[in-house]
Amino acid sequence: MTIQDARPPRRMAREKSTGAADLDAQILEQIPEDSIPVRLRDALMSKLGETEQLRTALAEANARIAELEEIADRDPLLNILNRRAFLREVERALAIVKRYRLQASLVYIDIDNLKDVNDQQGHAAGDAVIMGIAKTISDNIRHEDSVGRLGGDEFGVLLTDADPKTARATARRLAQKIAANAAPKGADPVGATISYGIAALEVDARLEQILERADKEMYQAKRERG
């Protein structure tokens, strides 16, 4: 079993609503016409129609709520998870790790020289660098993994079914790809690099401890880079 497998499936409210309405209509159609007065049958059919309208409205409302929740979970600039939503995913993964004794790791990423980009090229170029890094991370992790923006120039990557050794190899590969990417078009060549830290989601650890470990290792790597 993987962490992805352990997540509960989602069902569409509209499908459930349509199935219930069809079942009600089928039951009514099976009753012989001469056993129910015409006026009563008409009244029942009218009520079924009203019920279906209510079910449809409820399904549409639930779909809209889901859409708004999705928007609330995304960073407006990068279209990745925001801090709140990402930490919720880590909490969920940690609960699954504790229950099923699976492995998962957190990668804490910080952009090294975003201030230089902002100072030399402007904040629009800085935003372009952040967007490029977010896209590079998203494009180079698995579908079952998650990436979120933890702060202005900080990212978190949740790697499911990954021990620290695997997570470190993934983080190293991401750093290489990010460093190799070109600067924004029309800008001076100020290449973006990242520092990162790794922390395993251990069964006896709390979310705050995991973040602290990864953050501490990331800052140590940043100091070593000078």
Catalytic amino acids?
153
Maximum pairwise Cα distance, the chain: 90
User: Could you give the CA distance from residue 83 to residue 104 in angstroms, rounded to a whole number?
Assistant: 18
User: Could you give the CA distance from residue 185 to residue 40 in angstroms, rounded to a whole number?
Assistant: 72
Surface-to-core class of residue 46, CB atoms within 10 Å of its CB (0-12 exposed, 13-18 middle, 19+ buried): exposed
Q: What angle do CA 164, 130, 70 make, to 5 degrees?
A: 80
Classify residue 75 by its DSSP letter: -
Q: How far apart are the two ends of the chain, measured CA to CA in Å? A: 42
The answer to whether the CB of 90 falls within 8 A of the CB of 107 is no
User: Could you give the CA distance from residue 161 to residue 105 in angstroms, rounded to a whole number?
Assistant: 8
The answer to whether the CB of 147 falls within 8 A of the CB of 157 is yes
